[in-house]
Amino acid sequence: MTQAFRRAKGGRIDRSRTLSFSFDGKSYAGHPGDTLASALLANGVHLVGRSFKYHRPRGILTAGSEEPNALVGVGRDDAHYTPNLRAPQVELYDGLVSESQNRSPSLTRDYAAINDVFWRFIPSGFYYKTFMWPKKAWTKFFEPRIREMAGLGRSPKTPDAARYAQRFAHCDVLVVGAGPAGIAAALSAAKTGARVILCDEQAEPGGALLAEPDAMIDGVSAAQWLQGALAQLAAHKNVRVLPRTIAFGYFPHNLIGLAQSLTDHEGERDDAKPRGRLWQVRAGEVIIAAGAIERPLVFPDNDRPGIMLAEAARIYLERYGVLPGQRALIFTAHDGAYRTALALHRAGCEIAGIVDLRPKADGPWVEAARQAGLEVHAAATVTATRGRLRLTGATIAPIKGGSAIEVACDTLLMSGGFTPSVHLFSQSRGKLVFDATLDAFLPGAPAEACRVVGSAAGLASLQEALESGAEAGGGGTRHQAANAPVAQGGFIGVVPYHGDPGAVRAFLDYQNDVTAKDVMLALREGMQSVEHVKRFTTNGMASDQGKLSNMNALAIMSAVLHKPVPAIGTTTFRMPYTPVPFGYFAGYARGELFEPARRTAIDGWAAAQGAVFEDVGLWKRARYFPRGAEDMHKAVARECAAVRQGVGIFDASTLGKIEVVGPDAAEFLNRMYINAWTKLAPGKLRYGILLREDGFIIDDGVIGRISDTRFHVTTTTGGAARVLGMMEDYLQTEFPELNVWLTSTTEQYAVIAVQGPKARAVVAPLVEGADLSAEALPHMSMVECRVAGVPARLFRVSFTGELGFEINVPADYGQAVWEALMACGQPHGITPYGTETMHVLRAEKGYIIVGQETDGTVTPDDVGYGGMIGKAKPDFVGKRALARKAFAAQTNRKQLVGLLTDDPALLLDEGAQIVADPTQPKPMTMLGHITSSYWSETLGRSIALALLRDGRARTGERLHVPQHDGTARVTVVSPVFYDPEGARLNG
């Protein structure tokens, strides 16, 4: 297809190369330097989308990231597909595949366009009011229908093929926007030697200078000046220029989020290279040179394809050599549109007239238009437009009333003036101040170290833009612009209309299909606050955040409520400035790198044995070691039997470990743990319980005294970091007088548990320097020695109820020692076991697991450990809380008990509730809940631990546990199911 609307020359595109691309399956041609929008326009394609609610045909409205209509899906396949891209921002490449959105089956024949016929029946608030009754209809009917209709683009279903990069960066000055003001600021800041980052959302830096054929700067054309300035910046080693980079968020303390597109413009992009990069920039100072956004005029049917912003049309002409149509009507309240009219006129586009809302059309721009023979209708307005899939004509009428004129046109270019882009400044919590002469909110007092320059600060002329930028940069640079007359004017609100305003639709928010009438309805319904109106109408709530609509909406509110605009206020701008693909935020955190997978020194051995792993926090732990076709139940039964009858070996390396060292080490532990530590002799172990200050158990673990001044503290796997943090807190802030220091040794040691009646026979032959006999090393004692030639802390300790050892060796030797123990254990049938077997064995003994038997509301006495409390100690963390009368007064606290089901084969559901009478009316009185439930191979039946109200006094009682498949009958027993005397521990 030919590019019928492409001029033979002009613009910054490369006509020597032709690119082929497709839109909705149809092939078109464009050139390097084009955007998808400019290339479509060059081919005469204006209809590019259907509107969100009414499915009205929509065309390209703007030439920038504020585009509300031309939202397209781009990508060669689902894995490379991105929905909701703004066509003016999509750089053209050869083979680009794009499609329109929100239409079915096609743009020209869209079934949901029926909404447009019934528009009177779906005003704002329609959804809130209609889908309320009956309740069930919501989930069954309304929600699925709405979900079908809602949203614009389709989400890709396959994983994103792209990779994303991330960087933290620091600079003295971050300049947002590389238009004349931003470039002047960067040049000036660079001169001071500052580290400068200059970012711009477009592929090519330059901003307004890219469509500036007439102006001169510092004696050369704007284009030449731009080229020179960019070369200067490139030569500074302290300056980094980031094109295709959107400053999407302004966070506290001058942290700015930038999203830099890297390969989107490269066509068949290489998936090995990052598609984009998320920057988190900490800037000493931020200079916002974000420019201004042209405002649409709000008049009846102002949304037909062919209706564009005037400045956008000029940009398409000057940058891309594209004419928007053959015959354009200009509708404006700002001089800028005259500039567009003149340029188009020179380029051969017929001008159907200039309709100026302003009562007196005069000044140099108007004069120039008249001189060029263009017809100017002053104090006039457009009252109607025609054309379904493309504009065909419009009606012009004097504002004061009088006879209307019909004109034919395929293009209508409008301008309500410019709104300074204050989004980032507002995100920084800077105050906005309303300027009545400009009808705009301008940056006021900043909340962060930031300055706003150029048209973002409401400065209209090129000279002011350059000056404000240069001044903000602090380098004392100066620039002189010439041949750049100021364009002035503007209008906010609904343009005057004499007919029935209820009978027409004048669109305010194109992306969310909000009309002027909707805002008036919201006000009639009683909404007074701008925030309420916003939510009722959804004006400004689309992804463009009301870049085009906010000021017009405020003006309507102002007129209806008879309040000045500043009294109404403006809504808060939020990040992101424009949508950022999720991949930028995920960055490297995907798949295996989503989070650290912590593995022990023995993990590789276990994996090679075919162990099945489970996640415990970030750790991967071997859960069981299936042999042959064993399932978990069979493997665990075998592993349990091996430990009870022979010997098992278990990787306990993930246990948290803290070395507590110093003259006051024992005193510190006295104050932290409930137990007494002063009299624990070196070489002895004790089971410790740690409470929070509120008296509830937070952690537990065995603590060994290595010497008078050194303790080896163990914590739960999940509690390691938390406990160390809590200890540091008390040590640094409450007990700073204690001479004791804490060091995490969790990862210094691999911990190998050898458990079972034959444990000593396996370990002893490998030990040098220690006597493992029951007399020399009784239960709950420790010795420093060598195991398999490796220095070790050998603990005689058991979490299984059997004779057991836990061997702590420096972690890098862990696998070697493990393999030595396996070899030594072979004749004894040594059996590796995992966390599941560990859980069963400890439950048979009634040993608690913090976080399973406890839930943050459990005291030591609740789990039967009240006797461990060091009674003579004046204080420990949690002691005072436990002494409160509120605790003493509670007579029916939940206590740890064992439960046996009548049916020995029945496994109770963990978390199930316990009741006295299952026939009582609901809601039943719940007496407690199941905390642990296992099949005990040792006992040949199921067992369960539970927290039960007044549980210890209920021993022998028969209760009920309603489960997912019927109610179980249970008997309350002691939580220690196996070897209650503990004889096996002392073997």
Partner 1 sequence: MDNLAIPPAAMRRSSLSGQEGGPTCRPIAGGGRFSLRLPPASRQPAALALGLDLEANINRAAVSGGRAALRLGPDEWLLLLPEAEAPAAALAGALPGGLYALTEISHRQTAIVLEGGAAADRLNAGCPLDLDLAAFPVGMATRTLFFKAEIVLWRQSETCFHLEVWRSFAPYVWELLGVIGREYAS
Partner 2 sequence: MLLIPCPYCGPRPEIEFAYGGEAHVVRAADPRQVDDAGWTEFLYFRNNPRGDHAERWRHAFGCGRFFNVKRNTYTDQIEASYRIGETRP
Instruction: Give the contact letters, 711-750, x = binds to partner 2 (CB under 8 A), - = no.
Output: --------------x--xx--xxx-x--------------
Measured from the CB atom, is 731 or 788 closer to partner 2? 731
Binders of partner 1 among residues 723 to 752 (CB under 8 A) are: 739-741, 743-749
CB 161 within 8 A of CB 271: yes
DSSP state for residue 139 in the 8-state scheme: I
Quote the least distance from Cβ 192 to partner 2, whole Å: 21
Give me the amino acid identity at 309.
L
> 57: closest CA among 306, 341, 426?
306
Binders of partner 2 among residues 163 to 202 (CB under 8 A) are: 168
Could you tell which of partner 2, partner 1, none binds residue 447, using a CB distance below 5 to 8 A set by kind? partner 2
Binders of partner 2 among residues 270 to 299 (CB under 8 A) are: 280, 282
Could you tell which of partner 2, partner 1, none binds residue 89, using a CB distance below 5 to 8 A set by kind? none
20 forms part of the interface with partner 1 (CB under 8 A): no
Single out the segment in contact with partner 1 by CB under 8 A; choices: 84-92, 316-324, 789-797, 979-987.
789-797
Q: Write the burial class of residue 707 (CB in 10 Å: 0-12 exposed, 13-18 middle, 19+ buried).
A: exposed
Could you tell which of partner 1, partner 2, none binds residue 592, using a CB distance below 5 to 8 A set by kind? partner 1
Q: Which of 71, 241, 751, 790 binds partner 1 (CB under 8 A)?
A: 790
Could you tell which of partner 2, partner 1, none binds residue 596, using a CB distance below 5 to 8 A set by kind? partner 1
Measured from the CB atom, is 256 or 422 closer to partner 2? 256
Measured from the CB atom, is 155 or 733 closer to partner 2? 733
Strands (E), 431-471: 432-435, 440-443, 450-452
Could you tell which of partner 2, partner 1, none binds residue 728, using a CB distance below 5 to 8 A set by kind? partner 2
886 forms part of the interface with partner 2 (CB under 8 A): yes
786 forms part of the interface with partner 1 (CB under 8 A): yes
CB 465 within 8 A of CB 181: yes
Measured from the CB atom, is 662 or 829 closer to partner 1? 662
Q: Cα separation of 243 and 862, whole Å?
A: 64
Binders of partner 2 among residues 690 to 709 (CB under 8 A) are: 693-694
DSSP string for residues in 198-212:
EE-SSSSTTGGGGG-
Total of chain residues touching partner 2, rule CB under 8 A = 28
Could you tell which of partner 1, partner 2, none binds residue 505, using a CB distance below 5 to 8 A set by kind? none
DSSP string for residues in 923-980:
SPPP-EEEEEEEEETTTTEEEEEEEEETGGGGTT-EEEEEETTEEEEEEEE-S--S-T
Measured from the CB atom, is 592 or 965 closer to partner 1? 592
As a whole number of Å, the CA-based R_g of the chain is 38
Could you tell which of partner 2, partner 1, none binds residue 736, using a CB distance below 5 to 8 A set by kind? partner 2
Could you tell which of partner 2, partner 1, none binds residue 729, using a CB distance below 5 to 8 A set by kind? partner 2
Q: Write the burial class of residue 671 (CB in 10 Å: 0-12 exposed, 13-18 middle, 19+ buried).
A: buried
> 522: closest CA among 535, 511, 512, 513?
535
Instruction: Give the contact letters, 465-504, x = binds to partner 2 (CB under 8 A), - = no.
Output: ----------------------------------------
Give me the amino acid identity at 301.
D
Quote the least distance from Cβ 731 to partner 1, whole Å: 11
Q: Cα separation of 640 and 258, whole Å?
A: 56
Q: Which of 219, 373, 596, 966 binds partner 1 (CB under 8 A)?
A: 596
Q: Which of 12, 265, 327, 599 binds partner 1 (CB under 8 A)?
A: 599
251 forms part of the interface with partner 2 (CB under 8 A): yes
Residue 944 main-chain phi, psi, to 5 deg: -145, 150
Q: List Cα–Cα distances, 332 to 54, 130, 309, 338, 725, in angstroms.
A: 27, 39, 10, 8, 65
Measured from the CB atom, is 500 or 595 closer to partner 1? 595
Q: Which of 151, 228, 393, 662 binds partner 1 (CB under 8 A)?
A: 662
Quote the least distance from Cβ 585 to partner 2, whole Å: 14
> 229: closest CA among 190, 287, 285, 173?
190
442 forms part of the interface with partner 1 (CB under 8 A): no
889 forms part of the interface with partner 2 (CB under 8 A): no
Give me the amino acid identity at 78.
D
Measured from the CB atom, is 151 or 791 closer to partner 1? 791
Mode of pairing for the β-strands spanning 393-398 and 380-386: antiparallel
Could you tell which of partner 2, partner 1, none binds residue 915, using a CB distance below 5 to 8 A set by kind? none
Single out the segment in contact with partner 1 by CB under 8 A; choices: 335-343, 464-472, 529-537, 779-787.
779-787
Q: Cα separation of 350 and 665, whole Å?
A: 91
Q: Which of 619, 625, 673, 677 binds partner 1 (CB under 8 A)?
A: 619
**Sign of the CA dihedral running 759, 643, 896, 859:** positive
> 455: closest CA among 365, 572, 336, 555?
336
Measured from the CB atom, is 261 or 600 closer to partner 1? 600
Measured from the CB atom, is 268 or 728 closer to partner 2? 728
Quote the least distance from Cβ 197 to partner 1, whole Å: 13
Measured from the CB atom, is 302 or 600 closer to partner 1? 600
Q: Cα separation of 38 and 828, whole Å?
A: 80
CB 87 within 8 A of CB 70: yes
Measured from the CB atom, is 94 or 271 closer to partner 1? 271
DSSP string for residues in 609-629:
TTPEEEEETTEEEEEE---TT
Q: Cα separation of 502 and 495, whole Å?
A: 14
Measured from the CB atom, is 243 or 446 closer to partner 2? 446
865 forms part of the interface with partner 1 (CB under 8 A): no
577 forms part of the interface with partner 1 (CB under 8 A): no
Q: Cα separation of 818 and 815, whole Å?
A: 5
Could you tell which of partner 2, partner 1, none binds residue 204, using a CB distance below 5 to 8 A set by kind? none
Measured from the CB atom, is 446 or 791 closer to partner 1? 791
Q: List Cα–Cα distances, 726 to 666, 719, 731, 877, in angstroms.
A: 17, 10, 9, 11
Q: Which of 661, 772, 897, 908 binds partner 1 (CB under 8 A)?
A: 661
Could you tell which of partner 1, partner 2, none binds residue 856, using a CB distance below 5 to 8 A set by kind? none
Partners of residue 787 on adjacent β-strands: 767, 790
Binders of partner 1 among residues 232 to 291 (CB under 8 A) are: 272-274, 280, 282
Q: Locate 702 and state its tokens.
A: 């065995």
Measured from the CB atom, is 240 or 845 closer to partner 1? 240
Binders of partner 1 among residues 160 to 219 (CB under 8 A) are: 163, 165-170, 195
Q: Which of 151, 810, 851, 870 binds partner 1 (CB under 8 A)?
A: 810
Q: Cα separation of 602 and 817, whole Å?
A: 10
CB burial string 449-473: b at 16+ within 10 A, e below? ebbbbbbbbbbbbbbbbbbbbbbbb
- The CA dihedral of 169, 172, 175, 176, to the nearest 10 degrees, is 40
Partners of residue 292 on adjacent β-strands: 420
Q: Write the burial class of residue 564 (CB in 10 Å: 0-12 exposed, 13-18 middle, 19+ buried).
A: exposed
Q: Would you tell me which residues interact with partner 1 (CB under 8 A)?
A: 163, 165-170, 195, 272-274, 280, 282, 588-589, 592-593, 595-601, 618-619, 659, 661-663, 709, 739-741, 743-749, 768-769, 784-786, 789-791, 810-813, 815-816
Q: Would you tell me which residues interact with partner 2 (CB under 8 A)?
A: 168, 251-255, 280, 282, 429, 447, 693-694, 725, 728-729, 732-734, 736, 874-875, 879-881, 883-886
